[in-house]
A and B are shown apart, each in its own frame.
Chain A
Amino acid sequence: DTAVSQTPKYLVTQMGNDKSIKCEQNLGHDTMYWYKQDSKKFLKIMFSYNNKELIINETVPNRFSPKSPDKAHLNLHINSLELGDSAVYFCASSQGGTIQETQYFGPGTRLLVL
């Protein structure tokens, strides 16, 4: 199946822990994104990588560190998790390098910090 996939689907962890979320796309796209969807369902972009290079870095705590080993993968590592980090995190990809292009989203990772 051609798609954007994320692991894990669910993540429950204690405050202060460090965790990673992985994302892979096999669509051959050049650009990948991380979004956070809060409890009010607003989607906010966090990061964007184009061919492994960071092109968008919104105001996100530096506890969040994206890593792109190749253009098909964009992982998100979160240090010292806080209660407010609880949300659904979506990975997405698009063909070219502009944010306005159609983005294809993964199924989301539901993070709950206790």
Chain B
Amino acid sequence: KNQVEQSPQSLIILEGKNCTLQCNYTVSPFSNLRWYKQDTGRGPVSLTIMTFSENTKSNGRYTATLDADTKQSSLHITASQLSDSASYICVLHKAAGNKLTFGGGTRVLVKP
């Protein structure tokens, strides 16, 4: 079982609507948690990064939250746009061993 599990696997939403993606992890302790956006046919681009002591971080219409007690992070997309159609990947950095663990991503499709 992967140490970083993302849900849902895929999501279809209408333009203008909000959505929330989940990332559940067992990696502990970790130094930071990052969300990447990967457009189809492109490399991932960093959206937000949070240390283990941070609860929330925003980047425009993207807001990431972190609950260290439940070992969950979420990425909230507000007022979705067609350009938000992409995969969103959750990544944890574990200081011990200097390892990055990637989730499998959530594929979001925004329809007009």
Interface positions of A (Cβ within 8 A of B): 4, 40-45, 56, 90, 92, 98-100, 102-103, 105-108
Contact = CB atoms under 8 A, between A and B. Distances in A.
Nearest to A102: B46
Given A99-B100, A100-B31, A43 B41 contact: no
A5 B98 CA distance: 26
Given A41-B87, A100-B32, A100-B93, 13 more contacts: A41-B104, A41-B105, A42-B104, A43-B102, A45-B100, A90-B44, A92-B43, A99-B93, A100-B31, A102-B46, A105-B43, A105-B44, A105-B45
Q: Please provide the 3 A-B residue pairs with the shortest distance between their CB atoms, ordered closest to farther.
A: A105-B43, A100-B93, A43-B102
Interface of B: 2, 31-32, 34, 41-46, 49, 87, 89, 91, 93, 95, 98-100, 102-105
- DSSP class of A's interface residues: helix, strand, loop or mixed? loop
Nearest to B44: A105
B69 to A, nearest CB: 22
A43 B93 contact: no
Contacts, number: 46
B83 to A, nearest CB: 17
Contacts of A56: 98
Contacts of A98: 98
Given A99-B93, A100-B93, A44 B43 contact: no
A114 to B, nearest CB: 21
A111 B44 CA distance: 18
B97 to A, nearest CB: 10
B102 A40 contact: no
A29 to B, nearest CB: 14
